[in-house]
Structure 1
Amino acid sequence: MIRTSIDLSDKISEDLIWRRKELTDLRALVQTYQGELRSRVIIRCAIALLYAHWEGFVKKSSSYYLEYVASHRLPHSKLAANFVGLILKSKFNALGASERISGGNELADFFCTKLDSQSNVPYKGVVETKSNLTSTVLVDILNALGLDVSKFERRLKFIDSNLVNPRNHVAHGEDIEMTVEEYLQLHDDVINLIETYRTEIENASVLRRFARSST
């Protein structure tokens, strides 16, 4: 269980190390074959992998953060509203899968008697990107985790137009034109996105944004 901000930072760093190495090697490969016919193929592969690491990092680091929040077992009444929302969503999902007429009793019991009890924030399989991490999906994840959406607002159009759409073209076997210079810029921009997401999660853990404000 991830119990401290340091533990969380270490887990995120561990996940990011291998991703950075793979992407750095890929960036060098794109530059190595610049001007050659095979450059087109390498760039197509690079786009797909660059997107995959962005999506993978968001999912993994978000799950780590949820595990960190869950480890505190704060009472529901002292937990930030977005995390109470995640708990309720999991209960709604379970209720929807139940055919018992009395299934709603459990949800009613939560509202009536469990607000001051220790929380059990779900963290396994909660963050779902639908294999298509568009700006809309990203904002949904940020809101669910109580992260600062404003840090990404100016990049939302970029995410859809420059990253998700080209990746989808590649994934669907469609043609796409991208120069080496354009890919290198895309690579650097996505690395910055990853670092921004990392910073947001680490800041949220240190500042205890998962706890409900007393004001």
Structure 2
Amino acid sequence: MANIRDVARMANVSIATVSRVINGSENVSEETRKKVLNAMKKLNYKPMMSFKTTYRELFKTIGILIPDIRGYHYSDIVMAIEEYAYSKGFDVMLALPKGEPDAEQHVLDQYFRRKVDGVILGELYGGSKLIQRFEKSGIPMVVIDFAVDEINFDTVNVDNIGGGYAAIKYLYEHGHRKILFIPGPENSPAALDREKGIRKFLDKV
């Protein structure tokens, strides 16, 4: 069975572009739209359409988007979310786009179209522009592990700048001078903040 990646590959466009065509976005040229629609037809790809709903109706579904679940604290976070959600009669939809902005766009498109009751969002590598419409729609969103300064969402976060600062300060004050810093992914908000904290301390010594 064909999926959205197959359509994007055949049409020679990004996954995000296919999502825009499916959602009827105006930010797609007519030529590109035709290419995508032709690819969908050839592959017999039928995206799930939006559910019909009335105001205040609950779907009892929470969407979760996190970069990955392997070898990191996200596995514990997801287990805790699932346990609490199920205790309240909610289902959980989990997506792991692995830090790929196109995949993040596709997942968020699906969550938006399916009218989930809320979204819990881990690090977002594609930037805050991907979630602006959730603020306008009124769909609740909680952001974990990074800050979205320009959009008003509830956030559960740690002080990564302060953590980086404290770590390098501790080593420096204990006489260490040849210190190796292994950063995370270059577009990870948390990793960038830790590096900011380290550089903040080094600028003072």
Q: TM-score range by the shorter chain?
A: under 0.3
Higher normalized helix content (fraction of residues): 1
Please give the TM-score of this superposition, normalised by the length of structure 1: 0.24
Looking at both structures, which has the greater relative contact order when contacts are Cα pairs under 8 Å and sequence separation is at least 6? 1
